[in-house]
Amino acid sequence: AGLAYGQTVLARAAEAAGIEWDASQAHSAAYDAEITARLFCGVVNRCRGLYRGR
């Protein structure tokens, strides 16, 4: 997320990616994993064009 969104803190990266962040759920393993997965998908989708046709 740091490279794609310029943020390495999960809450800030989520905000930069347009993902709603619920501070009351932060640091719950399931919640953090869900947000991380959504960030990962966003990064992959943003970079998809770099890898087409390879």
- Which of 27, 48, 52, 54 does the annotation list as catalytic? 27
- The residues near 26 (Cβ < 8 Å, ≥ 6 apart) are 10, 11, 32
Q: What is the DSSP letter of 50?
A: H
Distance in angstroms (rounded) separating the CA atoms of residues 18 and 12: 10
Concerning whether 38 is annotated as a catalytic residue, the answer is: no
Known catalytic residues are 27
